[in-house]
Structure 1
Amino acid sequence: MKKYIFGVLFLTLTSYNTPSKKELQEQHMITEIEHSEMNTLGLIGGTSWHSTIDYYKTINQSINDHFGNNTNPPLIVYTLNQAEVHRFQIENKWDSIATMLVEAALNLNKAGADAVLFCANTPHKVYDDVQQKLDFPVIHIADATAKAIHKKGLKKVLFLGTKYSMEENFITKRIEDNGIEVLVPKQKKEIEELHRIIQEELTYGVINKKSKEYVLQVIKKSIVEGAEGVVLGCTEFPLMIFEEDLEVPAFNTTEIHSMAGVDYILKN
């Protein structure tokens, strides 16, 4: 008799928790409708893969939050060989980096991506060369960053990144074209040390306490010089520097760029 009662109870609980065929079909239809409402986005990552994970996580979580369920976006990831990218940077072969990015973008497009984004700031050095070879958009990190700065109502910010993005203006000018003054470290040794921290530590996922203190000192000095906020213009810096570390707003370009991707996916 006890076995019979247990069997009935088990069947009752099982039938209560298991979705019916109709419910499963309805859930599938909802997912299909939600996907039809979205653009497909391609991520060109690997520079580094640590920050690429943050792009992937932020975009997926934001789409989940938008729909209020576990709907995931139509997202495709292409990972570059960072060792090869760094070698081309050292050898000043930016045309080779552009070729890598074009190839990655075309492969993502063939796989169904309607647009792509570079999951890092420095590749934007060859943005124009890459974009002119494509007939679909590459979402620019500086445009999204400038919008975020405007939303905070700031007029002057510090920009920190690799030596390429601090010594050249392929990111900073695009922000300045939006009416924002951009400061960068003036001393060569500061630029070189910030670049070293990125290349030798952060791209390997290493967070060094002394290196963090150094970056914070550079930021504090710029605040004295009038910086109202700091742009973490290397997508690895948010692995080390957080909003609570600073007295001014920090602009996490990884998150900002990811949310620009979310807007594109949702056709905003």
Structure 2
Amino acid sequence: MKKLGIIGGIGPEATMSYYSEIIAGYQHRMGSLETLPEIVINSINMYHMFSLLEVQDYAAVATYLADAARELQQAGADFGLMCGNTPHIVFERIQEQVDLPLLSIITPSLKAAQDKGLRRLGLLGTKFTMQHDFFTVPFIRTGIDIITPSPEDQTYIHRKIVEELENGIVLEQTRQEMIRLITTMIHSNHLDGIILGCTELPLLLQNTDIPVDILDIAKLHIQQAVEDICA
């Protein structure tokens, strides 16, 4: 069994979900509740990371996260992951600075889209995810189109993620507005799937809310992490 290191706090709600769901997935895989994976969590300050991203200081973001990864390695982790999509904007820069192998959230998401035969996907997430191409480029290279919401809808989605979901606040009014927004995107752009590109969005949206395939990137990331622990 490999020891997993998690860079958490991006945000706290996702960190708790990753921890509990990795344990549940590992126990299911092992066929026993009387076993646990070895996990080390290093919880960083998400708001400090956001402040660096706001001024586009990507070198500082990479250094901040690389330092967190080194601490995980010093604690005995064999591989690591970041329980948020946004910091993957500097994933390659982080990996260049550390020896600890990092599991990208993008790789299992792309594989799932290909396995399902999806061709046109809507992407929701923080503004950093929706306005940059670090997540979309791997999909586009394989012939999958990625559509993002309008600028106004991007502002709304980002605000709800940061002000509500990152703090564990789940409001029915927000859920209904998000469903309306997504449904409009689907019909206007002939989408066959939606990517929940923020690891907190599953707190708000379920498969039954949307009339197309949903790619829950957090769930896919967790499943891959369990496989890698057992490899």
TM-score range, shorter chain: over 0.9
**1:1-268 mapped onto 2 (5 Å cutoff):** 38-69=1-32, 70-185=34-149, 187-224=150-187, 225-267=189-231
Structure 2: which amino acid aligns with 1:127?
F
**Cα separation, 2, equivalents of 1:155 and 1:90:** 32
Q: Deviations over 1:127-147 (max 9, x none)?
A: 111011122321111111011
Question: What is the DSSP-based 3-state SS (H/G/I as helix, E as strand, rest coil) of the residue aligned with 1:154?
Answer: coil
Larger radius of gyration: 1
User: In the TM superposition, what is the alpha-carbon distance from 1:81 to its structure 2 partner?
Assistant: 1.2
Deviation per CA, 1:87-135: give whole Å up to 9, x if none.
Answer: 2223332322211110111111111111111100000011111011122
Q: Distance in 1 between matches of 2:20 and 2:142?
A: 29
- Measured in 2, the distance between the counterparts of 1:247 and 1:137 equals 37
Give 1:179 deviation, angstroms.
3.0
Q: CA RMSD in A?
A: 1.2
Residues of 2 paired with 1:94 and 1:239: CA distance? 28
Q: Distance between the aligned counterparts of 1:52 and 1:81, measured in 2? A: 12
Counterpart of 2:153 in structure 1: which amino acid?
A: E
Runs (5+) with no aligned partner, structure 2: none
By how many angstroms is 1:217 displaced? 1.6
5+ residue gaps, structure 1, are 1-37
Counterpart of 1:139 in 2: which secondary structure?
coil
Instruction: Provide the C-alpha distance between the structure 2 equivalents of 1:136 and 1:79, rounded to a whole number of angstroms.
Output: 17
Contact 2:3/2:39 (8 A) holds in 1: yes
2:144 and 2:167 map into 1 onto residues whose CA distance is 32
**What letter corresponds to residue 218 of structure 1 in structure 2?**
L
Q: Distance in 1 between matches of 2:101 and 2:190?
A: 35
Give, in whole Å, the separation in 1 of the partners of 2:112 and 2:154.
25
Q: Distance in 2 between matches of 1:175 and 1:44?
A: 25
**CA contact under 8 A between 2:70 and 2:100: conserved in structure 1?**
no
Contact 1:143-1:175 within 8 A present in 2 as well: no
SS at match of 1:159: strand
**1:147 aligned counterpart, secondary structure:** helix
| 8 Å CA contact 1:146, 1:178 repeated in 2 | no
C-alpha deviation, 1:261, in angstroms? 0.8
TM-score by length of 2: 0.95
TM-score of the superposed pair, with normalisation by structure 1: 0.82
Q: Deviations over 1:155-178 (max 9, x none)?
A: 111110111111110011122223
Flag as ranges the 4+ runs of structure 1 deviating above 4 A: none
In the TM superposition, what is the alpha-carbon distance from 1:151 to its structure 2 partner?
2.0
